[in-house]
Amino acid sequence: FYLLAEDYAEALRYARAYGRQSGQCEPLYEVGLAAEIAGALETAREAYQELIRAYASCPASEKAIPHYLTVESLLERPQKALARIDSLIQRQGPRPALLIEKARWLLRTGQASAVIPLLDSLQPPTTGLLAQKYFLMADAALYAGDPIQSRLYLLEVESRLPESTYLSMAYFKLAELAFFQGEFELAKTRLRLLKNNTQDELSNDAIELYWLILDNLKPDTLTAPLALLARALLWERQGNLSSALSLCDTLEREWKGHPVSDDVFWLRARIALARGDTMTARRYLQLLADYPDTESLYRDDALYHLARLARSETEAARYYERLLREVPNSLYARIAREALSTLAR
Q: Read off the pLDDT of residues 252-291 as tens digits, 9 standing for 90 and up.
A: 999 887 888 899 999 999 999 888 899 999 999 999 999 8
- 101's CB contacts (< 8 A; 6+ apart) are 38, 39, 40, 41, 85
Mean pLDDT to the nearest integer, 215-235: 86
Q: Are 115 and 90 in contact (CB under 8 A)?
A: no
Interhelix angle 241-254/261-274, nearest 10 degrees: 150
pLDDT above 90 as % of the chain: 31
Rounded Cα distance between 322 and 290, Å, is 11
What pLDDT score was predicted for residue 199?
47
Q: Read off the pLDDT of residues 131-150 as tens digits, 9 standing for 90 and up.
A: 889 999 999 999 888 999 99
> 286 or 334, which is more confident?
286
Give the other-Cβ count within 10 Å of 12's Cβ: 25
Is residue 160 predicted with pLDDT exceeding 60?
yes
Closest CA to 257 of 289, 220, 303, 231: 220
Is residue 203 predicted with pLDDT exceeding 60?
no
Look at phi and psi of residue 15 and say left if phi exceeds 0, alpha if psi is from -120 to 50, else beta.
alpha
- Half-sphere exposure of residue 258: CA atoms within 13 angstroms, side-chain side: 27
- 342's CB contacts (< 8 A; 6+ apart) are none
Backbone φ and ψ of 257, nearest 5°: 90, -10
pTM above 0.75, yes or no: no
| Environment class of 204 (CB within 10 Å of its CB; exposed 0-12, middle 13-18, buried 19+) | exposed
What pLDDT score was predicted for residue 188?
87
Q: What is the DSSP string of 230-295?
A: HHHHHHHHHT-HHHHHHHHHHHHHHSTTSTTHHHHHHHHHHHHHHTT-HHHHHHHHHHHHT-S-TT
The CB-based long-range contact list for 192-196 (8 Å cut-off, 24+ gap) reads 194/168
Closest CA to 29 of 10, 50, 13, 14: 50
Is residue 174 predicted with pLDDT exceeding 80?
yes
Interhelix angle 26-37/8-22, nearest 10 degrees: 170
Whole-number mean pLDDT of the chain? 84
Q: Distances from the Cα of 333 to the Cαs of 10, 204, 306, in angstroms?
A: 27, 17, 14
